[in-house]
Structure 1
Amino acid sequence: MLLVPSRTRSLDADVAALGLEWDDLGDGYWRLRGAAFALVVVEIDPVAEAEDDDLLRLFGHGEARTREARRWLAQQLGAEEMAMEMQDLEGFDEVVRKVVATLPLEQVLAAYTPEQVLAAYAPEQRVAGLPPEQRVAGLPPEQRVAGLPPEQRVAGLPPEQVLLALPDDALRALSDAYLETLSAETRAAIRARIGR
């Protein structure tokens, strides 16, 4: 018996290469003819729908519809020894994303690491509701402004602070007479950078 979420082109190609033929038994069950032994293929997605099996949906591409199925999966993944074994299985991250998206937050936080929880959400969902200063906290300045045109990088700054954003060569071109019109603090910062 072979259990697969759904038939794929590569599976069909393998079956054809072996000289086997598909017999449709209905509702996602197939028998392969031509092998030396009986071979049955079960497509999890159509079987789960045909039999309305929520637990089976968890192992295919479908979404669990009942709280009981989601709770069962959370219990399985939440058990320390079981979780260690399941994390190594192919598709584990997809299953975690399904559960995280459907369970109440307190159950999610009790069963999963913060990294697993965050992986279930798109980047814009991860920062939704955070004030701007928290969204960029921890990023170096060049990453905070990456992708912004120069006029947006300095938008909202007072004119004297915009001057401090200029490269040293541009600051050297400023006349001493102009520098004298600036505040003492700005003048000192510019003079320290250009050496005059």
Structure 2
Amino acid sequence: MGVLVKLADVLGVRPGDLVRLVTYGGLYETAHLDDLPAPGDLTLVLVVASVTPTLREDLARKGWTLSPLGGGYARIDGPMYDTYLAITDEVTEAERDDYLRLFSHRSALPGEAARWLKQWMRDTRMKQPDIEELPGYEEMFQKLVEAMPVEKRLAGLAPEQRLAGLAPEQRLAGLAPEQVILALPVEVLRMLSEEHLHSLPADVRETIKKRLRGIAH
């Protein structure tokens, strides 16, 4: 029995991917006539991240139908070969498959699969320097970044780089009131009353004094 599997682009199904898979099936059967004597000896599988409008258009164009089987799998009725669909967004959740997550819209999780992806990207870059130009590279790289611990993502970044793109309220989120005061510009700190300064914790008052002395010098 032969099985042909086609993995669609992580970004989505391209027009004609399903028809292309069935065409591959015909070419494969032609080359293996003696090995595939019965109609059911060849099975086709299209692996996609999700069922997109493009895929539905391909099905409608050919008059084929999709029959869900559960767990992220479906049967495609209509082609001359037994044809199935594997939807990675759903299968990875149903089967807790961290490797399959790499080929879905789900974020990669820290662990063995993320380490494999890192090694694969390193080895592929050595063999193929222009790997960055390949479709889906940015998405795979982003998955690798998301799987890294936060401290590693931020390592080497200047404070302004860490805060770039954040709204003011996001920069201050989670800070205690006295910490928010320390984030104020020096010009605003100079406007604080002595009464208010004395109400602050001693370490906060000392930091404010140092900042004000720094400006004075």
TM-score (normalizing by structure 1): 0.51
CA distance, structure 2, for counterparts of residue 126 and residue 25 of structure 1: 50
Match of 2:120 among 65, 68, 76: 76
SS at match of 2:56: helix
Q: Name the CA shift for 1:100/1:38 in 2 (closer, same or farther; >3 Å).
A: same
Match of 1:102 among 131, 134, 147: 147
RMSD of the TM alignment (CA)?
Answer: 3.1
Q: Name the CA shift for 1:74/1:106 in 2 (closer, same or farther; >3 Å).
A: farther
SS at match of 2:134: coil
CA distance, structure 2, for counterparts of residue 14 and residue 33 of structure 1: 13
Match of 2:100 among 51, 56, 69: 56
Could you say which residue in structure 2 is the equivalent of 1:23?
67
Q: Name the CA shift for 1:82/1:63 in 2 (closer, same or farther; >3 Å).
A: farther
Q: Is the 8 A contact 1:48 1:56 kept in 2?
A: yes
CA distance, structure 1, for counterparts of residue 50 and residue 160 of structure 2: 31
CA distance, structure 1, for counterparts of residue 127 and residue 103 of structure 2: 16
Offset at residue 102 of structure 1 (A):
2.5
* Structure with a larger share of its residues in strand: 2
Q: Name the CA shift for 1:13/1:5 in 2 (closer, same or farther; >3 Å).
A: same
Offset at residue 106 of structure 1 (A):
9.7
Could you say which residue in structure 1 is the equivalent of 2:135?
90
Q: Is the 8 A contact 2:66 2:77 kept in 1?
A: yes
Q: Is the 8 A contact 1:25 1:31 kept in 2?
A: yes
Q: Is the 8 A contact 1:30 1:42 kept in 2?
A: yes
Match of 2:161 among 116, 122, 127: 127
CA distance, structure 2, for counterparts of residue 34 and residue 15 of structure 1: 9
Deviations 1:81-138 (A, max 9, x none): 4564753432210110121233258987xxxxxxxxx9xxxxxx972369xxxxxxxx
TM-score (normalizing by structure 2): 0.46
The yes-or-no answer on 1:32 pairing with 2:76 is yes
